Chains A and B, each alone.
Chain A
């Protein structure tokens, strides 16, 4: 009996320490003594962050702590905004080789109706691992075909998909038809095929516009027939109306130029993904005003002639040209490695502060949530990471992660298995 009571007490204590201490329940959380890297604004050598109602209530070197606040001694730690992964498969891919655990890809060439967030598995073991490395927000993407579906934005905590979703739809993913690499040998045919596919994309967008016109006309005039419900066109309406940006995956220089033209012709709001040869057309990209999301930098240069480091130096060159950018993990099982892509770009010419922005404020701007997150500022959502060093460094340990002002559990599949097998040794 005593044992049971003890167990209960321990459990309660554990819940209190690990589990989701809500700022709103206990009033205010005060993070004290941390070095603060707000990303927007000057660094604070030793400061205080107040969390209330899930938001940053106050931040600065001299902030009064209200009585009754739960305080966290963060001396020696550095506070950063939670990182944002701009392209990943978290919750959509569990074990790569097992199809039953992969939900990131639908069959068919045009799937504007599918939403990545509707397939998110909240219990994915990859989510707590990413969270434990300071990633608080992710753009989850589905791929495949020409129009793959809708990417959404999630917070990396929650028991149900609904608790996780921040924005169910942030971009329509399009895999841009690319000119094959060995175009010199097979000059005409694949080029034709590429332009044919671009025409197909334009065609479906035009059909969406026409569909909208007919719908609007039928609404005004009840004598006109209502068009048949068309699933594909229906979900392309926000795209043609510029309410929903397209996220276009495009890699080679010529393809990037073609994609810029496509976006212009179709008058779309766009984000580019991949852009591995963007450095060759940095001026065009800058002129277009289209922001880019880099894929994993853990990749070989697409063309040997471009030099061994072309993938690594690409972000630095584009940043210098004034292109807005963000980094991504392009993974689920390696989503935790997001900061190291940014650091790699920094090793090859990108300014270190810019690298940090590429995983915080820039993705927030690109996906239209910079009023909510991406920096540590008064009024923003309290997505806060406390680390014992530079958040982009490989050896740095993450000590606390707050998402929406709630302290999250940093245990995960790694730590669970480690603890279990430590007992054997």
Chain B
């Protein structure tokens, strides 16, 4: 009862959101199931119980009273994962300083942002929402699920890697932002590299100070009035990077700056989960493949600035074929609802198979975020994050019919159309009444 009341309130609050079914149990019947990792099942079913996928196959018997989604003629895929966005945030860049690893996107999550609903309308169930690229060392990013109507805390995916944003090139050197205040250091690519190195050297020193202090404390010979080093939140974050507790996600466009950053990661022993945008990945695909570093890129957005002017549409396919783990991101509150269109372009430009193309927005993104055990494919034991499409999701004519997060229907086009019809009907009635009154 209480749940129902809450559900009702949520529905009222978000007049345009589809109604939630409060239960996390669901059976999708008779669709073309694109599991991504285990092939395609035609006329297949997916059973979700308590938000977890319990069965994927044919002719699954419906447990008593379970909600059934008829997917006849439709396509069922795992929820799309956007591995680089800035949605549902109250702030993106902390521009007061060039070095801001202490700021956390978790602190500025905005659960009421309509961008969550927009993402759902394009089949997206999970996003990596990030600090911007204004600073060489930005803030800590966060992975959230698109649980429209829930609190920001409930959206957080705790299984995901902790990631820290880094940025190279034109944005941190403020190349395209002339006139906006006093120029700050760094203003060049060498400055960007140097400042990142400086911070890691500082952090190394900081770690050593603490090690010495803790060792001294343990030692019987130590002085009684031993003073601990000052806690530094920036240094703690970078120390966590070097301890392997947090991964770098590095915004880069050019091949050369990317290679320099890989060198930095080796110098200080931190891990890189993925390079972001990296227009020129195809130039250094073999290095990326050798290092096992993924890339999170646009399908073909390019030429909006000089460093993006060699970002060819073949990037995703070519790097995939060279053994690089590639995901396609939106970096946009608008493009996020058509990531499936963007992924499809990799078939035309470079000849990826349908399955490979779909991986770019599902399992590959999940691996990059460290959530492939719970998301990114339709497999037993994974979360019931699912999207249903009217036609093959890689067709230009498709549209998202339904988006399910942990067994709950969070977007339902049929429901949306129903509500719109009712609204239009009411509007018409009001107008005719008004006209009648005027007479």
Contact = CB atoms under 8 A, between A and B. Distances in A.
Q: Is the interface of B mostly helix, strand, loop or mixed?
A: loop
Contacts of B75: none
A298 interface: yes
Contacts of B313: 414
B185 interface: no
Contacts of B300: 334, 336
A344 B16 contact: no
B395 A340 contact: no
Contacts of A300: 118, 333-334
A282 to B, nearest CB: 14
A396 B349 CA distance: 10
Tell me the dominant secondary structure on chain A's binding face.
loop
A340 B338 CA distance: 11
Interface residues of B, number: 46
A425 B321 CA distance: 11
A417 B282 contact: yes
A302 to B, nearest CB: 12
Contacts of A309: 121
Interface in B297-342: 300-306, 309-310, 312-314, 318, 322, 333-335, 337-338, 341
B177 to A, nearest CB: 10
Contact of A307 (B286, B334, B420): B420
B396 A414 contact: no
B114 A304 contact: yes
B345 A97 contact: no
Interface string A303-316: 01101110000000
Nearest to B176: A97
Contact of A395 (B114, B338, B347): B347
B333 A94 contact: no
B47 to A, nearest CB: 29
Given A307-B420, A347-B396, A394 B282 contact: no
Interface in A319-350: 332-334, 336, 339-340, 343-344, 346-348
A97 B344 contact: no
Contacts of A305: 16
A340 B396 CA distance: 6
Given A298-B334, A424-B283, A393 B303 contact: no
A298 to B, nearest CB: 7
Contacts of B349: 414
A215 to B, nearest CB: 45
A94 B305 CA distance: 9
A352 interface: yes
A347 B304 contact: no
* 3 residue pairs, one from A and one from B, having the closest CB atoms: A343-B396, A394-B344, A97-B305
Given A308-B416, A414-B314, 19 more contacts: A95-B309, A96-B304, A97-B170, A97-B176, A97-B306, A125-B303, A300-B333, A304-B114, A308-B118, A309-B121, A339-B396, A346-B397, A347-B398, A348-B399, A394-B345, A394-B347, A395-B394, A396-B348, A414-B313
15 contacts: A95-B303, A95-B306, A300-B334, A333-B304, A334-B300, A347-B396, A393-B395, A393-B396, A394-B347, A413-B312, A414-B312, A414-B313, A414-B314, A421-B285, A425-B322
Interface of A: 94-98, 125-126, 298-300, 304-305, 307-309, 332-334, 336, 339-340, 343-344, 346-348, 352, 392-397, 413-415, 417-418, 421-422, 424-425
